[in-house]
Amino acid sequence: MNLDEFERRMRRVPRREIPAAWREQILEPLRHQEAAPAIVWWKQWLWPHPTAWASLAVIWLAIFALHFAAAPDPVAPSAVLAKPAPEMLQAFEDRIRLMAELSPESPERETEPSPADRPRSCRCTAEVAV
């Protein structure tokens, strides 16, 4: 039996017709069906695992909350700009005066000449007197 001949014989056998009633039964429910809305691209990332993403967001919020709760209190601007107390000012001025007195460039110390600057005759007289 030739294969081509056999194949031709098979192809001539008509297949059963689809029941005519099926057309309306299948298509009728679909006539008023609306197409499903297109999924936005970002939903394709989030939608399969909304619980996982929500949990991750909660964890990050908790991390931020703990971070800001542990941070030291910032200095209030009013404290920075407040005038210092009078006692502090007085102490500050005393300190400046003392530093000025102790400084080699202070005017009091300039009235006394250094021993190296005095003439030799005066230096000898001072030593003998002692």
Partner 1 sequence: MPDKFDLETLYDEHAQALYAFALDLTRSDADTKDILQNLFTRLARKPSALGGVRNIRAYLLRLAHNAAIDLMRRRGTRDKYAQEVALESPCLFEPTDDSDEQAFRTALDDALRELPPDQRTVVHLRLWEGMKFEEIADLLEISLNTTASRYRYGIDKLRQRLRPLYNEIK
Q: Which residues bind partner 1 (CB under 8 A)?
A: 1, 3, 6-7, 9-11, 13-19, 22-23, 25-27, 29-30, 33, 35-36
Cβ proximity to partner 1: between 15 and 83 the closer is 15
Beta carbons of 124 and 115 less than 8 angstroms apart: no
The distance of closest approach from Cβ of residue 48 to partner 1 in the complex, given in angstroms and rounded to an integer, is 18
The distance of closest approach from Cβ of residue 20 to partner 1 in the complex, given in angstroms and rounded to an integer, is 11
Cβ proximity to partner 1: between 11 and 120 the closer is 11
The distance of closest approach from Cβ of residue 65 to partner 1 in the complex, given in angstroms and rounded to an integer, is 44
CA distance 88 to 82: 13
In 3D space, the residue among 27, 127, 11 whose CA is nearest the CA of residue 3 turns out to be: 11
Residues 88, 89, 91, 94: what is their CA dihedral angle, to the nearest 10 degrees?
170
